[in-house]
Amino acid sequence: MGMVSSERTSVSPSLSPSQLPTPTTPKQHGLTKPISVAGPTEVDWQRTRELEKFLVEAALYESEEEAAKREEVLGRLRLIVKDWVKDLTLLRGYSDQMVEDANALIFTFGSYRLGVHGPGADIDTLCVGPSYVNREEDFFFILHNNLAEMEEVTELQPVPDAHVPVMKFKFDGISIDLLYASISLLVVPEVLDISDVSVLYDVDEPTVRSLNGCRVADQILKLVPNVEHFCTALRCLKFWAKRRGVYSNVTGFLGGVNWALLVARVCQLYPNAIPSMLVSRFFRVYTMWRWPNPVMLCAIEEAELGFSVWDPRKNPRDKTHHMPIITPAYPCMNSSYNVSTSTLRVMMDQFQYGNKICEDVELNKAQWSSLFEPYFFFESYKNYLQVDIIAEDADDLRAWRGWVESRLRQLTLMIERDTFGKLQCHPYPQEYVDSSKPCAHCAFFMGLQRKPGEVVQEGQQFDIRGTVEEFKHSINMYMFWKPGMEICVSHVRRKQIPSYVFPEGYKRSRHPRLTSQQQSDKQSCEDGDACQTGSGERCLKRKKEPEAVQQDRPEKRQSISPERSVPSSLSSRIGSNIELINSDKKVQYQETEVGDVSNGSVITSLASEVGSCEDIGNESVAGSCEGNNGSVDGSVEGSNNPGSSQSDSCDAESESLLDNGRLKGNGVFQNGMQEELEPNAGVGKAQIWWVELTPKVCRNR
Active-site positions read 111, 122, 124, 177, 238, 247
Collapse the DSSP code of 664 into the 3-class scheme (helix H, G, I; strand E, B; otherwise coil) and give the result.
coil
CA dihedral 104, 105, 109, 115 (to 10 degrees): 150
What is the Rg, in whole angstroms, of the alpha carbon atoms belonging to the chain? 28
Smallest CA-to-CA distance from 244 within 53, 380, 112, 406 is with 380
Phi first, then psi, for residue 480 (nearest 5°) are -105, 25
Helices (H), 502-619: 516-522, 547-552, 607-610
User: Could you tell me if 111 and 124 are in contact, meaning their C-beta atoms sit under 8 angstroms apart?
Assistant: yes
Residue 69 CB burial class (10 angstroms; 0-12, 13-18, ≥19) = middle
The tally of CA atoms less than 13 A away on the side-chain side of residue 290 is 25
Helices (H), 149-292: 205-223, 227-243, 256-269, 275-288
Tell me the helices (H) and strands (E) count for the chain, helix number first. 22, 16
Cα angle 139, 142, 145 (rounded to 5 degrees) comes to 110
CA–CA gap between residue 550 and residue 557 (Å, rounded):
16
CA–CA gap between residue 466 and residue 471 (Å, rounded):
9
User: Could you tell me if 177 and 210 are in contact, meaning their C-beta atoms sit under 8 angstroms apart?
Assistant: no
- The dihedral built from the CA positions of residue 81, 82, 88 and 91, taken in this order, carries a sign that is negative
CA dihedral 597, 602, 608, 614 (to 10 degrees): 110
- The dihedral built from the CA positions of residue 235, 237, 240 and 244, taken in this order, carries a sign that is negative
